[in-house]
A and B are shown apart, each in its own frame.
Chain A
Amino acid sequence: MIEVENLTKRYGRTTAVDGISFRVRKGEILGFLGPNGAGKTTTMRILTGYLPPTEGTARVAGYDVFEAPIEVKKRVGYIPETPPLYPDMEVDEFLDFCAKIKGIPGPSRKGKIDEAVDKTRVGDVRGRLIGRLSKGYRQRVGLAQAILNNPDVLILDEPTAGLDPKQIIETRELIKGLGGDHTIVLSTHILPEVSMTCGRVVIINKGKVVAEDTPENLTRRLRGAGALRVDVRGEATAAAEAVRSVPGVVSVRPRPESAGVATLEVEAEPGRDVRPDIARAVVSRGLDLLALHQVGMSLEEIFLHLTTTDAARAEAPPAAPRSAEVTA
């Protein structure tokens, strides 16, 4: 549905997007992940036909965004980070205007508006001025606008930014519900959002793609690095000492004790299973081993790992093991 090849966008001397390529299949929900300023919004704007790329091509539903922007715009629904709304219009009035400029013919206009209103649950504010709506409702009116003409592709730039937790959950459900019918690209820097809603993730940093996979695979690929969590009843320093003595253990980081239980984060050499040795070492010192399990890196850790520079990492050691390097 979406094919992006070697896409580059320069603003004067700064390169916002630097030769990125990815594809999105029909009906897929793709998470577009990256720190602020990574080039997410620029890429999305190019996909909507709003900005012309400096180099490379992007095709949406088979149309080149540069050659046939009008055809692309007919098939794409887009909400920028702050939904573009006219505060002095009523919700119905606004949606009617959007339907007109999206070329929805008169007879079916009412039905399409009703449908979008139902899907986004803004029915109870239809007659209100947009300027008086809460942030959550505005976001939903923005979404209603985007799905009005039932576009093949939906591009959502940080759809949950600035919402309260309940609204975030509602919006996520809404987006998940829209997947399947629509191909969705959503950008965010909130990581749980990606693992909850997206089938695939593209992580970009400084305009480049640094990783692309399913959230599960990304986590699994880094698990080989062997991060362990060890719960021991007793004093943390003693427990840490016991674990540190095991050959193959690279580092041990005690977490604050709680209720007499010490939790240690242990990093082992890659490919070496040190679990039996740790168990023996702890027990032989007369400490009670309560739990011992392998942890995959959370998406947060992967993200930090991939998007922070070496210099930044030296200052604040990441939770991620050094040896794990993901190549996209």
Chain B
Amino acid sequence: MTSLRNVAAIVEKEWRHYFGSPIAYVSLTVWALLFGIFFYFAFSFFLRESMMAAQQMEFGGGPKMSLNELLIRPVMHNMAVVALFLAPMLTMRLFAEEKRQGTIELLATAPLTDLQIVLGKFLAAAGLYGLMILAGLVDLALIWHYASTPPEWKPVLTGALALLLFGSCFLALGVFVSTLTRNQIVAGILSFCLFLGVWTLGWADDPGAGPVMKAIAYLGVTTHMEDMVKGVVDLKDVVFYLSFIAFGLFLAHQSVQSQRWRA
């Protein structure tokens, strides 16, 4: 009970900071804007395709068109790339700034555990990121308003979940990197490189790959998104993401504790 309250206090403080500075507004705007742009392009593409399909129809029926498959899924994939760029912005200052300002001492001498501090900071970043995803979903709501046969909503939800889990992996790692330095720019750059590295692990997946490469590819964060964006929530993917997040937070926690011993 107290531990929940403590975590909530940290989340609230970080949110005050996000929304008391331009960080939240800039990330929300950039996310919504890019979502809109990608949505627009995907939509134009879909329109062209459906026109062609309509022409083919006269000659005896074209392929069946799915809004989910041709419109929503590509947008989700594009937004995953945006998450790669925005995640470091959300996490880089979390610990680095506290260390630079000396306020880490305030947190460390308050009756809080290191785990509560780490969790609070992670949840604050994940919360803002969740809000960003919601802001993007507003665009998709337009389809329901105008489409004669609306798309299925379940794959949209699982796609959003995939984005959330996938981005949270970055956020958890970002929290860890932020504990390593007192300079937020350094934390930001390091986080981005690390995220990119984790991202590219998925490229090792190749039909002819051996078992080692397969294992490496399995660790790539993108690999586990595919099914979920299609609407299939496989427990092993969810478990993968949750373990990845837990591992990132574990590293962050170890780092905070070890710095106290070495301080």
Q: Which of A73-81, A179-187, A206-214, A224-232 contacts B (4 or more CB under 8 A)?
A: A73-81
Q: Is A177 an interface residue, CB under 8 A from the partner?
A: no
**Judging by beta carbons under 8 Å apart, are B111 and A52 in contact?**
no
Q: Mark B249-263, 1 if CB is under 8 A from A, else 0.
A: 000000000001111
Interface residue ranges of A67-114 to B (CB < 8 Å): 70-71, 73-74, 76, 78, 80, 82, 84-89, 93, 97-98, 100-103
Q: Mark B74-116, 1 if CB is under 8 A from A, else 0.
A: 0000000000000000000000000001111111111111000
Q: Which of A43-51, A262-270, A277-285 contacts B (4 or more CB under 8 A)?
A: A43-51
Shortest beta-carbon distance, A317 to chain B, in Å?
39
Q: Is A145 an interface residue, CB under 8 A from the partner?
A: yes
Report the interface size class on chain A. 20 to 34
Instruction: Given contacts A80-B105, A89-B20, A100-B12, list 6 more A-B pairs with CB under 8 A.
Output: A11-B263, A50-B260, A70-B113, A85-B103, A101-B112, A102-B110
* Contacts A86-B101, A97-B13, A101-B6; A73 near B106 (Cβ below 8 A): no
- Bound Cα distance A86, B10 (Å): 13
- Bound Cα distance A196, B263 (Å): 33
Q: Is B148 an interface residue, CB under 8 A from the partner?
A: no
**Which of B17, B103, B261 meets A84, CB within 8 Å?**
B103
**Which of B9, B13, B109 meets A50, CB within 8 Å?**
B109
Q: Is B2 an interface residue, CB under 8 A from the partner?
A: yes
Shortest beta-carbon distance, B67 to chain A, in Å?
44
Q: Is B149 an interface residue, CB under 8 A from the partner?
A: no
Closest A residue to B2 using CB positions: A103
- Bound Cα distance A222, B262 (Å): 40
**Judging by beta carbons under 8 Å apart, are A98 and B106 in contact?**
yes
Shortest beta-carbon distance, A90 to chain B, in Å?
9
**15 A–B contact pairs at CB < 8 A?**
A11-B262, A50-B108, A50-B260, A52-B261, A70-B111, A73-B109, A84-B101, A84-B104, A84-B105, A86-B17, A86-B101, A97-B16, A101-B111, A102-B111, A103-B111
**Which of A49, A70, A71, A101 meets B107, CB within 8 Å?**
A101
- Bound Cα distance A102, B112 (Å): 8
**Which of A52, A74, A101 meets B260, CB within 8 Å?**
A52
**Judging by beta carbons under 8 Å apart, are A101 and B9 in contact?**
yes
Shortest beta-carbon distance, B10 to chain A, in Å?
7
Collect the chain B residues with CB atoms within 8 Å of residue A51's CB: 260, 263
Q: Which residues of A contact B (CB under 8 A)?
A: 11, 48-52, 70-71, 73-74, 76, 78, 80, 82, 84-89, 93, 97-98, 100-103, 145
- Bound Cα distance A85, B13 (Å): 13
**Judging by beta carbons under 8 Å apart, are B109 and A49 in contact?**
yes
Count chain B residues whose beta carbon lies closer than 8 angstroms to a beta carbon of A. Answer: 28
**Which of B5, B20, B21 meets A103, CB within 8 Å?**
B5
- Bound Cα distance A89, B15 (Å): 12
Shortest beta-carbon distance, B13 to chain A, in Å?
5
Collect the chain A residues with CB atoms within 8 Å of residue B106's CB: 84-85, 98, 145
**Judging by beta carbons under 8 Å apart, are A100 and B9 in contact?**
yes
* Contacts A88-B20, A88-B21, A97-B13; A50 near B111 (Cβ below 8 A): no
Interface residue ranges of B111-153 to A (CB < 8 Å): 111-113
* Contacts A88-B20, A103-B2; A73 near B110 (Cβ below 8 A): yes
**Judging by beta carbons under 8 Å apart, are B16 and A89 in contact?**
yes
Collect the chain A residues with CB atoms within 8 Å of residue B17's CB: 86, 88
Collect the chain A residues with CB atoms within 8 Å of residue B6's CB: 100-101, 103
- Bound Cα distance A74, B103 (Å): 18
- Bound Cα distance A51, B101 (Å): 18
- Bound Cα distance A230, B120 (Å): 68
**Judging by beta carbons under 8 Å apart, are A73 and B111 in contact?**
yes
* Contacts A88-B17, A93-B16; A101 near B110 (Cβ below 8 A): yes
Interface centre among B2, B10, B12, B103 (most CB of A within 10 A): B103
Collect the chain A residues with CB atoms within 8 Å of residue B105's CB: 50, 78, 80, 84
**Judging by beta carbons under 8 Å apart, are B5 and A100 in contact?**
yes
- Bound Cα distance A89, B263 (Å): 27
Closest B residue to A82 using CB positions: B102
In the A-B complex, list the 5 residue pairs whose CB atoms are closest, starting with the nearest: A84-B106, A100-B9, A73-B111, A84-B103, A101-B110
* Contacts A51-B263, A101-B6, A103-B2; A86 near B103 (Cβ below 8 A): yes
Collect the chain A residues with CB atoms within 8 Å of residue B260's CB: 50-52
Closest A residue to B257 using CB positions: A52
**Judging by beta carbons under 8 Å apart, are A84 and B102 in contact?**
yes
- Bound Cα distance A84, B102 (Å): 6
- Bound Cα distance A88, B13 (Å): 11
Collect the chain B residues with CB atoms within 8 Å of residue A88's CB: 17, 20-21
Collect the chain B residues with CB atoms within 8 Å of residue A71's CB: 111
Q: Mark B154-182, 1 if CB is under 8 A from A, else 0.
A: 00000000000000000000000000000
**Which of A48, A85, A89, A103 meets B109, CB within 8 Å?**
A48
Q: Mark B1-29, 1 if CB is under 8 A from A, else 0.
A: 01001100110110011001100000000
